[in-house]
Amino acid sequence: MSQRPLPYRKAICYSGYRDGQSPESGKIPSSTEVEQDLALLEGEWQSLRLYASDAHSKTVLDVIRDKALPFDVMLGAYITAEVDNPNCPWGGEYSPEQLLANREHNRDELRNLIELANHYSSIVSSVSIGNEAAVSWTDHLVPTASLIRYARLIKESVSQPVTFCENYVPWLDKLAPLVDELDVIAIHTYPVWEYKSIAEGLAYTIANYQSVAQAYPDKQVIITEAGWATATNGLGIEPQHVNQEFQRRYYKELMEWAEREQVLVYFFEAFDENWKGSDDPLEPEKHWGLYRADRTPKLALQA
């Protein structure tokens, strides 16, 4: 490997939306709530991954700066669908007017990313041009050609290393043309979504990582999402594969591997997010946090 732009850190994905708050509603966590969250995370983690360049992320960056907290941040842009994706199981087709509005949103989001990365340059350690916008099932599909343009724009405009966060599969074929434009490849790996048992979990994650690392030996490969759900309604994740004991095992094994191999891994995620997914309280999208939505720790964080 010719270079490693990002050092190993103990890292976690952070979204602070509590019950009654969501990006869709526009109700976002207050500075006080973010400060409470970061007080829980301080000491255990050093780097936070934020998903969007929006008001919530600005609040997080302000709190880190104003309270002189010892975190750096991977700052993301949340880009949305620029083309239809009929392969999305929950609906990935839009009117031409909506797609046009989405492209304008994406341009605004990238402008915000540039502004925040430069304004908080001592905190923002890396930037991502998007999240899961290329995988076959996404409802916010963005063509590789657009991702290449966005990567070039961001690299010209910020000093931090630039990446794109995506499931490991597209990196092996579809996203190959994007790789040259990035400083770092960022993969997602979820064994439990692929019907793996906890006994298979770590080995499967390592295999996912190595498949991409071996394909691009001159690029640093990091993991920006890997985690284990603690509840499910059986849709997509089988109930016998999830509970707090399994999350604790996967977290422990993955973090030990990451430290041993010095691979930067952002564990998914800090807090449960009840706004996600369907209204079913057992919707698995709601149950990835190491803390519950009420900020009490799950088994993985109990001594």
Note whether residue 132 is domain-resident: yes
Q: ∠ CA(193), CA(203), CA(262), 5° rounding?
A: 110
Over the chain, what is the mean pLDDT?
A: 97
Contact 225, 174 (CB under 8 A): no
Summarize pLDDT for 226-276 with one digit per residue, the tens: 999 999 999 999 999 999 999 999 999 999 999 999 999 999 999 999 999
Token pair for residue 87?
A: 């392969």
Tokens of 108: 């605004």
298 close to 230: Cβ distance less than 8 angstroms: yes
For residue 216, give the DSSP letter.
Answer: -
Q: Is residue 105 assigned to a domain? A: yes
Domain count, the chain: 1
pLDDT category of residue 3 using cuts at 50, 70 and 90: low
Residue 4 resides in a domain: no
**pLDDT confidence of residue 4:** 83
Q: Mean pLDDT, to the nearest integer, of 279-297?
A: 97
Considering the domain boundaries, does residue 69 fall inside one? yes
Phi/psi region, residue 208 (left: phi>0; alpha: psi -120 to 50; beta: rest), is alpha
**Are 102 and 82 contacting, i.e. CB atoms less than 8 angstroms apart?**
yes
pTM of the model: 0.97
2 in any annotated domain = no
Q: What is the pLDDT of residues 22-34, one digit of tens each?
A: 999 999 999 999 9
Residue 21: predicted pLDDT = 97
Whether 44 maps to a domain, the answer reads yes
The CATH number that applies at residue 76 is 3.20.20.80
> Is residue 5 one of the residues assigned to a domain?
no
3-state secondary structure of 181: coil
- Residue 2: predicted pLDDT: 45
Joined together, the tokens standing for residue 253 give 């094994």
- Residue-number span of the structural domain to which 284 is assigned: 10-301
Mean pLDDT of 9-28: 96
DSSP track, 47-59: EEEE--SSHHHHH
In this prediction, residues 98-104 reach a mean pLDDT of 98
Does residue 271 lie within any of the structural domains? yes
